[in-house]
């Protein structure tokens, strides 16, 4: 059985157990807390009282947030005038479009919408929506596709925050309040990089939600989700915060998610995750699922990100993000060992853009950023998110580990520019060294072949052997080796000598690919 099958079976197994987990958990907590009282008295009144107090806490949280949660329905005219049938979420039957997800994540990450069609959240046409004409009954017309999600009232005068993928591309947005009153909403602004949007209805005196300070939220804290899973309005589910600072999920450009085991399903998208005080700690945005439904791993955009993006969209209609001007990478165990520090102690700077905010502040390649404005960072997603939350022109105080010593820097952030890089060209195979690398000194022909800049110095990687240590480290033809073991290197013979003498600890390289530089440890095969 391969690992994928194991993951799938584990997911289905946990899906069966989740129906009983809440009841079992409540009973276990009540019994544990009541143990001293039961030892002193034979009756169960104290245990019942404690269990009821837990129930009251959840009831209070749900009641507090409930009036601030709305149901969102969207409709969009399909651009494909063809008959279509309903299919499970993520389907692509009969030429239907599917929700856009990064390559490789479709199998694991499903948006919260069920159904099918040309945008996230298409409901099954068999339920009465978007029925196309039958073939042979005249010209086919583009069907109207329907979808649904959730949202949170952010201001008393009708501003509502939800996910970008809930309302993106919608022709009509309908909002239903907790009392059933419906309004047609207009789109104020959308930010796909954070998967957030703000819509507005013409109303007043609404119950605006209160946002929490998520720095106080910790794994193990109770939390409650309220939304419209599968169209069931104002469904309340409970669980705990599983983790904070999750990135690499693949659903947004900037990820610093709260992970939760609170049951969330298609239709919860854009709805709130709240603490026991009924304060919003996040906006539900994605689930990891092989079945399309809850399997105990959900992700929410943290409240500070929601508030920052929401403010930008409400005041300007778009989001401007801070820019530090550095290339970043995780501090892996191998890199940490080579640099004499602990893994995940911070985020490693692979390069610093000349003349950028980081360079002006004094940052150098090889620095390890450990905090931003006093908040610790342990992975690139956290650092990106925290810098992106800050406005251009604002100051970011950075904790930095350099040569084993803690230092402090202050950078004035610029406006984040667009990103993109050209694909790396291929090269003809060469004789490889012990690490599976073939390198050449950079000359005019090499610059033309690999599209290198005139001031580029170092060694060009011309080939990476299949199955080699270099391939395992992620090296590619066209990479430029700037330094080895902390020293600049431009001579291929010298590099091959270093590669041949590499110990099991590995060879620390600083490489450049496109406009980005990073550190890599290449370990020889045992």
Whether 135 is covered by a domain: the verdict is no
Co-location of 82 and 178 in the same domain:
yes
Residue (of 225, 221, 266) closest to 244 by Cα position: 221
- The pLDDT assigned to 248 comes to 66
Quick check: is 445 catalytic? no
Rounded to an integer, what distance in angstroms lies between the CA atom of residue 363 and that of residue 347? Answer: 13
Residue finishing a domain among 290, 316, 342:
316
Quick check: is 269 catalytic? yes
CB-based contacts of 25: which residues, under 8 Å, 6+ apart? Answer: none
Per-residue pLDDT of the chain (526 residues; tens, 9 = 90+): 343 333 222 222 333 333 334 444 444 444 444 445 444 455 678 888 888 888 888 888 888 899 999 999 998 765 443 333 333 323 333 333 333 333 333 333 333 333 333 333 333 222 233 333 343 444 444 455 577 899 999 999 999 999 999 999 888 999 999 999 999 999 999 998 889 999 999 999 999 999 998 778 889 889 998 888 887 778 888 889 998 877 767 666 777 788 898 888 777 889 999 999 999 999 998 777 666 666 678 899 999 899 989 999 999 888 888 899 998 888 989 898 888 888 888 999 999 988 899 999 999 999 999 999 998 888 888 888 889 888 889 999 999 999 989 999 999 999 887 432 333 333 333 445 778 888 888 776 667 666 677 777 788 888 888 778 888 888 888 888 888 888 888 778 778 878 777 767 788 888 888 778 889 998 876 5
Which residue is catalytic, options 165, 242, 261, 379? 165
Co-location of 442 and 403 in the same domain:
no
Co-location of 229 and 342 in the same domain:
no
Co-location of 272 and 157 in the same domain:
yes
CB-based contacts of 225: which residues, under 8 Å, 6+ apart? Answer: 236, 237, 238, 239, 260, 262, 263, 264, 268, 271, 272, 273, 274, 284, 298
Kindly give the pairing relationship between strand 159-162 and strand 144-153: antiparallel
Co-location of 312 and 336 in the same domain:
no
Whether 209 is covered by a domain: the verdict is yes
Co-location of 114 and 5 in the same domain:
yes
Which residue is catalytic, options 168, 191, 195, 256? 195
Rounded to an integer, what distance in angstroms lies between the CA atom of residue 279 and that of residue 285? Answer: 17
318, 339 contact by CB (below 8 A): no
Domain range for 455 is 437-522
Whether 262 is covered by a domain: the verdict is yes
- The pLDDT assigned to 484 comes to 86
Q: How many CA atoms lie within 13 A of 264 on its CB side?
A: 36
Whether 137 is covered by a domain: the verdict is no
Residue finishing a domain among 352, 383, 415:
415
- The pLDDT assigned to 251 comes to 63
Residue finishing a domain among 354, 385, 415:
415
Quick check: is 63 catalytic? no
CATH number, position 43: 2.40.10.120
Whether 420 is covered by a domain: the verdict is no
- The pLDDT assigned to 449 comes to 64
- The pLDDT assigned to 382 comes to 83
Whether 512 is covered by a domain: the verdict is yes
The model's pTM is: 0.59
499: part of which helix (H) or strand (E)? helix 492-500
DSSP codes joined into one string, 135-179: TTSSS--PPEEEEEEEEEE-STTSEEEE-HHHHTT-SEEEEE-TT
Whether 235 is covered by a domain: the verdict is yes
- The pLDDT assigned to 292 comes to 60
- The pLDDT assigned to 341 comes to 87
Co-location of 167 and 308 in the same domain:
yes
Whether 129 is covered by a domain: the verdict is no
CATH number, position 446: 2.30.42.10
Co-location of 108 and 239 in the same domain:
yes
Q: Domain count of the chain?
A: 3
């Amino acid at each position: 059985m391969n690992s994928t099958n194991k993951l799938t079976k584990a997911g289905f197994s946990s899906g069966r157990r989740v129906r009983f987990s809440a009841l079992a958990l409540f009973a276990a907590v009540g019994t544990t807390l009541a143990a001293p009282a039961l030892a002193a008295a034979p009756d169960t009144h104290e245990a019942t009282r404690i269990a009821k107090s837990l129930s009251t806490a959840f009831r209070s949280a749900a009641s507090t947030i409930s009036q601030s949660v709305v149901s969102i329905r969207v409709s969009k005219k399909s651009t494909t005038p063809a008959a279509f049938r309903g299919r499970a979420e993520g389907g692509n039957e009969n030429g239907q479009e599917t929700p856009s997800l990064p390559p490789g994540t479709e199998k694991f990450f499903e948006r919260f919408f069920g159904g099918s069609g040309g945008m996230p959240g298409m409901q099954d046409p068999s339920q009465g929506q978007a029925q196309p004409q039958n073939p042979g009954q005249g010209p086919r017309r583009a069907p109207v596709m329907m979808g649904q999600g959730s949202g949170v009232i952010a201001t008393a005068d009708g501003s509502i925050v939800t996910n970008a993928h809930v309302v993106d591309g919608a022709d009509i947005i309908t909002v239903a309040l907790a009392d059933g009153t419906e309004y047609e909403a207009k789109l104020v602004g959308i930010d796909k990089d954070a998967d957030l949007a703000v819509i507005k209805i013409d109303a007043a005196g609404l119950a605006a939600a209160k946002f929490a300070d998520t720095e106080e939220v910790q794994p193990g804290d109770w939390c409650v989700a309220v939304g419209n899973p599968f169209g069931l309005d104002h469904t309340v589910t409970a669980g705990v915060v599983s983790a904070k600072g999750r990135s690499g999920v693949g659903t947004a450009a900037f990820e610093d998610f709260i992970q939760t085991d609170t049951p969330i399903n298609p239709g919860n998208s854009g709805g709130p995750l709240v603490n026991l005080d009924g304060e919003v700690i996040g906006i539900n945005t994605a689930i990891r699922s092989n079945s399309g439904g809850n399997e105990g791993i959900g992700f929410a955009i943290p409240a500070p990100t929601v508030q920052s993006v929401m403010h930008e969209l409400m005041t300007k209609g778009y989001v401007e993000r801070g820019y530090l001007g550095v290339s970043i990478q995780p501090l892996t165990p191998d890199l940490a060992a080579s640099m004499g520090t602990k893994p995940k102690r911070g985020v490693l700077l692979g390069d610093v853009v000349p003349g950028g905010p980081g360079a002006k502040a004094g940052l150098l390649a090889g620095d390890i950023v450990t905090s931003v404005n006093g908040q610790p960072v342990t992975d690139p997603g956290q650092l990106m998110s925290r810098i992106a939350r800050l406005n251009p022109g604002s100051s970011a105080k950075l904790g930095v580990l350099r040569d084993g010593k803690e230092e402090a820097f202050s950078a004035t952030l610029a406006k984040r520019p667009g990103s993109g890089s050209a694909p790396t060209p291929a090269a003809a195979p060469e004789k490889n060294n012990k690490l599976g690398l073939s390198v050449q000194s950079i000359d005019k022909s090499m610059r033309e072949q690999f599209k290198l800049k005139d001031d580029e110095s170092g060694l060009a990687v011309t080939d990476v052997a299949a199955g080699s240590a270099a391939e395992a480290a992620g090296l590619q033809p066209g990479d430029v080796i700037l330094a080895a073991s902390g020293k600049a290197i431009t001579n291929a013979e010298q590099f091959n000598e270093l590669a041949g003498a590499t110990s099991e600890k590995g060879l620390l390289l600083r490489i450049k690919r496109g406009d980005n530089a990073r550190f890599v440890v290449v370990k020889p095969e045992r």
